[in-house]
Structures are given as C-alpha cells and as structure tokens.
C-alpha cells in the first residue's frame, strides 16, 4: 500500500485549539475552564500575562522580561475550549474561525476529528475508526458485486445450454421450400446465439468477476489494522498525557491552597509558622506550577503528533477509497461493453434469418411442392356413351 499521501501546508497543521487550559482550584474540575499565568509587579499596579500556546515544541518557555515563577498567580479568564475524550477543541464562536484543510473537497481530513457513539450508545467510536469501517464495508460490497456478476454468469451459461439444446429440436423439421430454409436457419441461429452467450459468460468471469474478487485481496485487512493500531496508540498516549495534566493541575491547586492557608495563619498569628515555612510552601507551589506546564507541554506535543498523523492517514484512506471506486467503475463499464457486444453478435445471428424470411415466396413454395407431390395434370372430362 502506498503511504505517500499528500500533506497539506504545514502551516495549517494546527491542533483544533489554540491555548492551553487548567483550573486554579483543586478537585476534579473540567478541562473546559481556561486560565492564564499572570505575574504581578511589587507595586501591583500592572500584571504581565503569559498565554500558553498549544502549537510549538517551545510552548512552555518563560517569555523574556517576565518575573520569577515564584510570583506567578493564576487568574481565571473566559472559557474558550473544551476537552472531550482527552482531545481539546475550541468552543463554538471562540477564537478565529478554522479554515478547512481541503476546502470544497469534502475530504476525510476535515470531517472526522470528533468521536461518535456507537448505535447502542454505550461506547465511543473515533472518527478514524469510522473511516476504517468504511474501508471494510467497501471491501464487503465489492465482494457482493462479484457474487452478483457470478449469478449473472450462471444465468448466461444456463441460457446458452438451453438455446443449444433447443436448436437441435426436430420440431417442424419437415417444413419445405423457402419457408423451410428460413425455419432451418432460425434453428441454427439459436445454436449461434448460444455460442455468443457462452463467450459472454466466459468474458464476464475473466474481465469482471475475477478482478472484483482479487482487488486488494492480499494483506488488505492487515494493512488496515496497522493504520488502526498506529492511531489508537497515539490516542492512548494522548489520554495518558491528559491524565498527567489533570494530576499536575490538582497538585498545583493543593500546593496553592496550602500556601494560602499558611500565609493567612501567619498574618493573623494563629500559627507559629516562620517565614521560612512560607518560602518553602511557595517553592513547592512554584515547582507544582512548573510541573503542570511541563505536563501541558507534553500533552500538546502529543496532540499535535496525533493531529498530523490523523491528517496523513485519513488522506491515505481517502486515496484508497477513490482507487476502489474507480476500479469498480472501470470493470462495471467493461460489463456494459461486453453486453453491447453480445447484443451485436446476437443481431448478427438473426440477420441471415431475416434475409431468408424476406425471400419466402408462397408461389415458389407451391411450385416446388406440387412438382414433388403431384399426382397428375390431366383433368377429367364428361362421360360419353
């Protein structure tokens, strides 16, 4: 199988969402809440916001001029994305409108990103699995078409056999004259027509049925499994990375909560915690934030890899489907060509019959019959005494 499927412009190979997201509180909060890291100055008159991009291996590097990570805070901003089955998508109406990778082509690479529920509604089927099912269904339908042609061949063979048998019938064999000649030719035409239909059935087998049966016969399902396993492994990696983000998110929320509690206790003197304890808690909070950014970076890299492989492999499956349809079209057109040829040959078998029927002459037939069967040409006369 060819794997040289064309790739769209690399600038357009961007994941569905544009920014990373994480929550500021502990617990199992949804990934659909979007946040930004903000660093505040000592005067608290301004804040510098660092958005975490989702599209570059250098995503999580601290920008030039930002303050120490120890002084970063998390501020909630408007929700702009949602995560479904560990894949992040932009919310409708949020962010710039996405352009199709292959506009006006209804390409596979543009319409199978989300998962869908199976007919029972119990499990989810990925968009790529839908494409694989299309390939398997196409293979089955191709097999059914070959079975249909096989039944057509059997009908032709039986028809030819019956025509040949009928051509040997002794019925009306004693017909004479020009009509008898036409009748004899008509019976002979049945034998000729039988030969035409027998040849038609043989060509149907070699030029239509067999190609439909053998097209992508070897290793096709194995090749499809390779596609399936490759994309499925990437989805498993993506789920693992997302679980890591969620774990790191919760750890950060716990560290921030601990730092907040210790700070409040120190301020109202409900605890003998020293400033060294506060600094230690702040370092742990900062480290948790860095861990979250690292996990987010790994998640986004994995999603980008999955995205690119989805585009490449879905376009390869699209190419395979085009080849299948064109192959079937080619051989069904061969069927119609053979059918037209059969009609022409059948016409040629009846042309001699037509000619002899036009030459049928009742007067001549009467002459010939009389000559062979006359009993005498002297007519009777009156009796005389």
Q: Is the pLDDT of residue 233 over 80?
A: yes
In the chain, the N- to C-terminal Cα span, in Å, equals: 112
- Mean pLDDT check: name the lowest of 62-66, 113-117, 234-238: 62-66
Q: Per-residue confidence at 26, pLDDT binned at 50, 70, 90?
A: very low
Output the DSSP codes for 287-350: HHHHHHHHHHHHHHHHHHHHHHHHHHHHHHHHHHHHHHHHHHHHHHHHHHHHHHHHHHHHHHHH
Q: Please give the average per-residue pLDDT across 153-161, as a whole number.
A: 97
Q: In angstroms, rounded to a whole number, what is the distance separating the alpha carbons of residues 231 and 253?
A: 33
Q: In angstroms, rounded to a whole number, what is the distance separating the alpha carbons of residues 321 and 313?
A: 12
Average pLDDT, rounded, for the chain: 82
Q: Encode pLDDT of 186-209 as tens digits.
A: 999 999 999 999 999 999 999 999
- DSSP run (H or E) holding 36: strand 35-40
- The Cα-based distances of 214 to 170, 217, 227 in angstroms read 45, 5, 22
Q: Return the higher-pLDDT residue of 32 and 306.
A: 306
Q: Is the pLDDT of residue 15 over 90?
A: no
Q: Encode pLDDT of 341-354 as tens digits.
A: 999 999 999 999 99
Would the pTM of this model clear 0.85, i.e. be above it? Answer: no
Q: Is the pLDDT of residue 370 over 70?
A: yes
Q: Is the dihedral of CA 300, 306, 311, 312 positive or negative?
A: positive
Q: Per-residue confidence at 30, pLDDT binned at 50, 70, 90?
A: very low
CATH tag, 127-360? 1.20.1270.60
Tell me the Ramachandran region of residue 382: left when phi exceeds 0, alpha when psi lies from -120 to 50, beta otherwise.
beta
Torsion of CA 87, 90, 96, 99, to 10 degrees: 50
Instruction: Look at residue 270 in the predicted model and tell me its pLDDT.
Output: 58
Instruction: Look at residue 24 in the predicted model and tell me its pLDDT.
Output: 34
Q: Please give the average per-residue pLDDT across 40-47, as a whole number.
A: 32
Q: In angstroms, rounded to a whole number, what is the distance separating the alpha carbons of residues 4 and 312?
A: 9
Q: In angstroms, rounded to a whole number, what is the distance separating the alpha carbons of residues 307 and 87?
A: 10
Q: Are 128 and 173 in contact (CB under 8 A)?
A: no
Q: Are 123 and 117 in contact (CB under 8 A)?
A: yes
Instruction: Look at residue 132 in the predicted model and tell me its pLDDT.
Output: 96
Bridging pattern class, strands 35-40 and 47-50: antiparallel
Q: Encode pLDDT of 52-97 as tens digits.
A: 333 333 333 333 333 334 344 444 456 789 999 999 999 988 878 8
Q: In angstroms, rounded to a whole number, what is the distance separating the alpha carbons of residues 85 and 29?
A: 15
Q: Is the pLDDT of residue 40 over 70?
A: no
Q: In angstroms, rounded to a whole number, what is the distance separating the alpha carbons of residues 40 and 46?
A: 6
Six token digits for residue 304: 């980008």
């Amino acid at each position: 199988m060819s794997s040289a499927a064309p790739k769209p412009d690399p600038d357009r190979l961007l994941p569905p969402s544009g920014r990373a997201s994480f929550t500021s509180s502990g617990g199992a909060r949804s990934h659909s809440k979007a946040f930004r890291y903000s660093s505040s100055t000592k005067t608290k008159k301004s804040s510098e916001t660092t958005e975490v991009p989702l599209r570059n291996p250098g995503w999580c590097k601290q920008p030039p001029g930002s303050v120490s990570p120890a002084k970063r805070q998390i501020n909630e901003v408007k929700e702009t994305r949602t995560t479904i089955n560990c894949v992040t998508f932009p919310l409708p109406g949020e962010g710039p409108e996405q352009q199709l990778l292959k506009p006006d082509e209804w390409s596979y690479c543009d319409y199978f990103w989300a998962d869908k529920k199976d007919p029972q509604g119990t499990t989810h089927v990925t968009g790529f699995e839908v494409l694989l099912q299309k390939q398997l269904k196409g293979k089955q339908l191709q097999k059914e078409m070959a079975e249909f042609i096989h039944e057509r061949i059997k009908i032709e063979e039986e028809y030819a056999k019956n025509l040949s048998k009928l051509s040997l019938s002794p019925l009306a064999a004693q017909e004479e004259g020009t009509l008898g000649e036409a009748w004899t030719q008509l019976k002979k035409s049945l034998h000729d027509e039988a030969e035409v239909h027998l040849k038609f059935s043989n060509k149907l087998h070699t030029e239509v049925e067999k190609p439909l049966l053998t097209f992508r016969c070897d290793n096709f399902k194995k090749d499809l499994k390779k596609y399936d396993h490759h994309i499925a492994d990437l989805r498993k990696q993506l789920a693992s990375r997302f679980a890591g983000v969620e774990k790191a998110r919760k750890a950060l929320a716990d560290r921030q909560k601990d730092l907040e509690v210790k700070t409040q206790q120190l301020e109202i003197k409900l605890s003998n915690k020293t400033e060294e304890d506060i600094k230690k808690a702040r370092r742990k909070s900062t480290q948790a934030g860095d861990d979250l950014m690292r996990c987010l970076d790994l998640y986004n890299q994995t999603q980008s890899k999955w995205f690119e492989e989805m585009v490449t492999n879905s376009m390869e499956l699209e190419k395979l489907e085009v080849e299948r349809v064109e192959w079937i079209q080619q051989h069904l057109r061969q069927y119609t060509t053979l059918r037209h040829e059969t009609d022409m040959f059948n016409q040629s078998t009846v042309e001699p019959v037509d000619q002899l029927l036009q030459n049928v002459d009742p007067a001549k037939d009467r002459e010939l019959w009389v000559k062979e069967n006359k009993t005498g040409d002297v007519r009777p006369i009156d009796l005389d005494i």
